[in-house]
Amino acid sequence: MRRNKYREAIFFIFIAVVLVTGCSTKHIAQAPSGNLASISNNISEIHINGAGQGVDDRLLHDLEKYLKAKLIIAGFDIDDEKEGMTLAVDVKTFSPGNAAARLIIGFGAGRGSLIYTAKYISSDGKVFAEMEGQERFTGLEVGFNNEYGGATTLQGADKARNVLVQEAAKHIVELTASR
């Protein structure tokens, strides 16, 4: 009888660990005092720096593309002719991980990652909001296969990069409305 209770407890802990091994984390270093769109609905510049390990021009281009799309959907204008905020993103490291290890071993093996910082800065240099983001892709994330296409876990480096960049863009834009 007692062994069954231990087995149930171990099984519950195992399931809990599996469900939280992936996903994203973000540390908001400076939350905005309100919705940034009410301060300025224009983003006049987007600076994306990527001198970190594993970061290439394609990753930076994709991140800029998804950021622009998500900012427009969130109600921001992107116009370098008008005065507005600057979005500065510094990509520190990127690794697409290994699809074979994700599939065969699991539990975080083969995990892809994207680590970055993002700041919304006024035209006079005041930081409105700042965050440190860490996107992880282990293949165990709930809903990833639904949101990014079937068998996302099984696909290679291009798909991992695409998922990580889209998740980063989503979290960077969510920062505009954080409190």
pTM: 0.77
Per DSSP, the three-state class of 129 is strand
Maximum mean pLDDT: which of 49-53, 64-68, 100-104, 154-158: 64-68
pLDDT at 158 over 60: yes
Contact between 128 and 32 under an 8 Å Cβ cutoff? The reply is yes
H or E segment and range at residue 88: strand 85-95
pLDDT band at 170 (very low <50, low <70, confident <90, very high): very high
pLDDT at 26 over 70: no
Q: What is the pLDDT of residue 101?
A: 74
Rounded CA separation 103/110 (Å): 8
Rounded CA separation 160/147 (Å): 13
Burial category of 168 from C-beta neighbours within 10 Å (exposed 0-12, middle 13-18, buried 19 and up): buried
pLDDT at 111 over 80: no
Angle between helices 157-174 and 57-73 in degrees, nearest 10 = 40
Q: What is the pLDDT of residue 102?
A: 67
How confident is the prediction for the chain on average, in pLDDT? Answer: 79
Buried b (16+ CB within 10 A) or exposed e, 82-107: eebbbbbbbbbebbbbbbeebeeebe
Q: What is the pLDDT of residue 20?
A: 44
